[in-house]
Amino acid sequence: MTSPDRATAPHRGRPTGHTGSVVARALGVLEAFGPDRPALTLSELARHAGIPLSTAHRLVGDLTGWGALERDETGRYRIGLRMWELGALAPRGQALRETALPFLEDLSHVTRENVQLAVREGTELVFVERLAGSGAVPVHTRVGGRFGLTATGVGLVLLAHAPPELQEEVLAGHVERYTPFTVTDPARLRRILADVRRDGYSVSDRQVTDDALSVGAPVQDAHGRVVAAVSLVVRRGTAAPRALAPLVRTSARGIGRALTD
């Protein structure tokens, strides 16, 4: 099964042109890291970033000096704490997480299941928070991890409330299949998205792993715009989606109200 962090996804936009080439190459070095590549040698960085070793040496030196990278005792490089400091300043992530956390903790405490919070960025989602329930079904998501919009409970919510042109872009592209139950047919996905808008919640039944069921609900701001999605992820067969939906929707509404206070 493909981990959400390893899902196929387009590269984010990079600067182009001569003046942006150094920045683009530096970003390429940073993008070489991933959940399956947390530590890399200089030659590995050069290969994954597609740049000459001499260029990688210069860029890695600058990034290490600034704190974006750190060199460990084995000589490999890792993402540095300076990147974490900057990431914590992202308002859509940190401010939302701080506001939502009490509601997510309540939901996790009541259900003892996995609770997730995500936002949409382009044609992907980013997990802003994840609370693991005691004894709950294992999940492969992580805070900061990206995933497509067509399979998870939070993804289906975010896609259902995305602009129509973005929905069509996603449905016209490659839809990743993770299990035999993953819905990849565009016509069926359109019906699912319509159901999400009608019912006020989503159901992802064994679409990411064959033992999990996820129920998601939208978080709306004061203007009624969907700015995030909350989900419960449980072991399939332990609870009916209709029983979970009121809990998830209540949590999402609470977060939405708190965001407008």
pLDDT tens digits for 108-163? 999 989 999 999 989 999 888 888 876 666 666 777 788 899 999 999 999 999 99
pLDDT of residue 91: 58
Tell me the domains of the chain and their CATH numbers. Answer: 4-83 (1.10.10.10), 91-260 (3.30.450.40)
Q: Which amino acid is at 5?
A: D
pLDDT of residue 219: 96
Q: In which residue ranges of the chain is pLDDT below 70?
A: 1-20, 84-85, 87-94, 134-140
Distance of alpha carbon 127 from alpha carbon 214, whole angstroms: 14
Tokens of 241: 């989606």
pLDDT of residue 11: 42
| Global pTM value | 0.70
pLDDT of residue 238: 85
Contacting residues for 236 by C-beta, under 8 A, at least 6 apart = 137, 205, 206, 211, 212, 213
pLDDT of residue 4: 45
